[in-house]
Structure 1
Amino acid sequence: MANFVLVPGAWLGAWAWEEVAAELRAAGHDAHPLTLSGLAEKRDLPVGPRTHVRDIVDEIERLDLREVILVGHSYSGIPAGQAAALIGDRLTRLVYVDANVPVDGESFVSAWPEGRAMVEAAIAGNDGRWPPLPAEEYAGQGLTDGQIERIVAGATPHPGVSLTAPAELARPLAELPTTYVKCLLDGEVPPPEVAEPVKAGHWRLVTMDTGHWPMFSRPRELARILLPAAAGS
């Protein structure tokens, strides 16, 4: 039995993983969706540069989880990748779901050469938080109107400090057993930092014919992609 630790992307909480978690549990595994500090039901908790990394590590250690498949979506690939390098032999596999991959010394906004100023301005103009996307920004991502309404209704402003803090990697990520899930409606090419470990055979690349939020648009298919990680593949 594996322990899936599911970390949502920007603006979202553990609730975003409900359908995927149900599928994983039905297959006989444990699923632990995690809300990061400053978001959803934890929106009032303080957030510093390393808080989200500690959120993940502390939850795994608090529950004494072993055989961990650590799953990070979108933004949360940044703290999940850093956390994976800290939990030692508790980790079975790291899975990035259409996610940002941490680069030592770089932040989430570092990957936005054209949009960085826009994101930083939005954070500065909203009490240090990145406001959620409006409904029209979810068009073309394989989501129904109801799914979009659910995301927008549940989204909370994202703590800006977590987006601008540079990553600190305890070990090279290419050493970790990793799967990268690329959602093709959000672009067919994964981030540049994914190409080298995939080409070298260190990471596994999987594609989904859906948009950036597959836990809503294709939860059952996403669960089927995650399940082989429980067998170490």
Structure 2
Amino acid sequence: MTVDTGAEAAFVLVPEAYTGDWVWERVAAALRRAGARVFCATLSGGRPSGSADLETLIEEVIRQVDAAGERVVLIGHGYGLLPALGAADRRRDRVIRVVHLDAAGLPEDGDSALDVLPALPRPVSGTAEVPPPTREEWHRLGSTEGLTPAVLDQLAARALPQSAATFTQPLRLSESAARIPRTGVLCPADGATIDRLRWMASLGDPRLSLLTEPGNTFLELATGHWPMLSEPELLAKALRQAAAGEGESLALPPGHVPHHLRPFVLQVPDRPRERMEHVDLYLPDAQEGRPAVVFVHGGPLPAGIRPTPRDWPTFTGYAALAARLGAVGVTLDHRLHAPGDLARAAEDVSAAVDLVRAHPKVDADRVALWFFSGCGPLAAPWLSAPPPWLRCLAANYPLLEPLPGHGTDGDRFRPAAAVRGAGDLPVVLTRVGLEDPVLDATVERFLDAAGECGAEVEVIAAPHCRHGFETLDHTAEARAAVREALGRVLGRLGV
């Protein structure tokens, strides 16, 4: 794959759902001041409202590409990436690079927008149009960080309904579409960072393997989902950088050992384990029923990764250590493969808990649940109505509310709302100092809510540790944090 310099390339800008070419006005002006030619797709297709489908929008983008000339950089914002990719595939002789602008998911042949963008609403059966979000609902598409109230008012006032078929019709791509160079421009306020994508690539996510190829690059803009409205000058600069092939690569060096597969921070002797369905139990030496600690891995994680999380050193290390100290340590696999899978993953966790409590070597009345990283929202149902056998709930560097644009509304998976029902359930929270600010802000909001209702939260501070410190930071502070957190949880179980 060759990297084009981007010299004299024209830009074709494809907007997010419900919007039009007007969102690009300030970015287009900045690009033109820098000497670029700019073309903006409207995504209306010139058809009556409700009659367009994805093919209609692809045709509109193709018209803009043809008008732009022989060398085109094609930018798709959010949903706009789908028609952008469709047009790029059919104009491979003209499009030198596709820019994914804060576009969740990586559409492949046969995917519809609903398959890769969980924030989009499902069209009501029999309706031709999907109404735009209200002013209070725009965060569902992505973070509104950086938007002033006046700009948010304008966004809501100018939005138009989207034809339902533009969301449901599958995208068709040829195999050669993968050879078009890509640049991702990420907006970390939505939770997407280069470091996180690189980690996801290290998991073997097949949808990210394409983006690790030479010539594909990534940039970050410190703002929300609407950089053309919040930071138009910075976005214009980033698009010029993308056109020149600048940015970081996701490629991993030869022999790279992914962070999650590095050794556990403590040396723990191996323990016998019993495997049942999607659950492993690490058993202590005692013969009588012992309390159990259920360790719930984070996510979303791609389906099919090997080894699965219950065999990762962090979880086998914690579980074996718990067993060595006299409790049953439990690891499990759940199906949090996409942001919209929280309900399914919650069912998996509940089923695992039932399996554990029914085991003859487990004291069913003394169980703790311990949540890690992106599975933090799964703690909410247990906080809102703790059963009497749940003696402690723990969380390490957790995400404690669904991120904007991830398609989850209501309070079912929002621990800050659920903690009002926690009563006297003790919570042990390990908070790392070198955390992603977006994740740490959710922890801060949870702690504020817990303080307001008087919930019992014990915070273990690890100021010099990173997210996933159990395999990343082999330091005295990391070892102390593991010992202290496990000691407090086991103490609540009477171990």
Scaled by the length of structure 2, the TM-score of the pair is 0.42
Aligned to 1:83: 87
* Greater C-alpha Rg: 2
Does the aligned pair in 1 maintain the 2:39–2:64 contact within 8 Å? no
Query: Following superposition of structure 1 onto structure 2, how do residues 133-144 of structure 1 map, counting pairs within 5 Å?
Result: 133-138=133-138, 141-142=144-145, 143-144=147-148
Q: Output the CA distance in 1 between the equivalents of 2:9 and 2:68.
A: 13
In structure 2, what is the equivalent of residue 147 of structure 1?
Answer: 151
Within a 5 Å distance, the mapping from 1:11-30 to structure 2 comes to 11-30=18-37
The answer to whether the Cα contact below 8 Å between 1:183 and 1:211 also exists between their aligned partners in 2 is yes
Compared CA separation, residues 203 and 230, structure 1 to 2 (3 A): closer
Residue type of the partner of 1:214?
P
Tell me if structure 2 keeps the 8 A contact 1:82–1:170.
no
One-letter amino acid of the structure 2 residue matched with residue 36 of structure 1: L
* In 2, Cα distance between equivalents of 1:112 and 1:59: 25
Displacement of 1:170 after TM fit? 2.3
One-letter identity of the residue aligned with 1:67:
R
Name the structure 2 match of 1:212: 225
C-alpha deviation, 1:99, in angstroms = 1.5
Matched, 1:108 2:84: no
- For residue 182 of structure 1, report the CA deviation from its aligned partner: 1.3
Q: Which of the residues 35, 43, 63 maps onto 2:42?
A: 35
Asked if the contact 2:9/2:71 (under 8 Å) is kept, the reply is yes
Assess if the C-alpha contact under 8 Å between 2:53 and 2:164 holds in 1.
no
Which has the bigger relative contact order, CA under 8 A and spacing at least 6? 1
TM-score of the aligned structures, taking structure 1 as reference length:
0.86
Alignment counterpart, residue 181 of structure 2, candidates 177, 183, 192: 177
C-alpha RMSD of matched pairs (Å)? 2.4
8 Å contact 1:72–1:97 — kept in the other structure? yes
Which position in structure 2 is the counterpart of 1:7?
A: 14
Deviation at 1:225, TM superposition (A): 0.3
Note the C-alpha offset of 1:173: 3.6
Letter in 2 for 1:144: T
Name structure 2 gaps, 5 residues minimum. 1-7, 247-495
* Residue deviations 1:179-230 (CA, integer Å, cap 9, x gap): 0111111122569676323333342111111111111011111100001244
- 1:129 CA drift (Å): 1.3
Residue 120 of structure 1 aligns with an amino acid whose one-letter code is P
- Equivalenced residues, count: 224
Shift of 1:112: 5.0
**For 1:175 and 1:231, how far apart are their aligned partners in 2?**
17
- Identical pairs, percent: 35
Q: Which has the higher helix share?
A: 1
Does the aligned pair in 2 maintain the 1:5–1:71 contact within 8 Å? yes
Counterparts in 2 of 1:12 and 1:43: CA distance versus 1, 3 Å: farther
What residue is the counterpart of 1:161 in the other structure? 165
Partner residue in 2 for 1:50: 55
Structure 2 CA distance for partners of 1:43 and 1:179, relative to 1, 3 Å:
same
